[in-house]
Amino acid sequence: MKIGYARVSTDEQSDSSQLDALLEAGCERVYQEIGSGKSRLRPELERMIDSLRAGDVVVVQRLDRLGRSLKDLIELLDGFKKQDVQFISLNENIDTTTAVGELAFHMIGSIAQFERRLISERTKAGLAAARARGRKGGRKAKLNVTDIRKAQAMLLAPDVTKTEVAEHFGVSRPTLNKALNKIVV
């Protein structure tokens, strides 16, 4: 069975061109949704996925109607494949019912994986270069050296607890302990 999925982002937008294209493509059932493609939590998309059976074909007018991020698209298409469900995107001419369409899908997946690896490598190289220049990564310390010295002085008083000192500086006890262990009097 060919099953269509149409989505518009707002009530003001019309999905009529999508519906026309899906009906022309032979879809027997069409799930219509209003909502952002950023969110994977779309009720009609979930209903469609729950209704899919082996041998079904999911059809969309354009890939961006199914999802905005490549990662989400790949996850959805992998899920379809695991269920033995094929996929067609009319505008992009992706049709996993054919060998060429399946190849196109795998190429998109490979490109996405390549892109993720490149980003990871660039990030690691950037961090290494910054460390080589003496820069440290991470968050700014919540307590500066002066605050830590004051905290050490406060803790010399026998009736003052670490909890009270931490509350005074607006930090947790573990944060105070970490700062105290870094600077030794």
List active site positions.
9
User: Which residues, including other chains, have CB under 8 Å from residue 4's CB and lie 6 or more apart?
Assistant: 19, 22, 23, 25, 27, 29, 30, 31, 58, 59, 60
Are 65 and 37 in contact by the 8 Å Cβ rule? The answer is yes
8 A C-beta contact, residue 37 and residue 93: no
Residue type, position 103, single letter: L
In whole angstroms, give the CA distance from residue 101 to residue 78: 14
Closest CA to 70 of 32, 116, 31: 116
| Nearest CA-CA partner of 79 in 104, 120, 59, 49 | 49
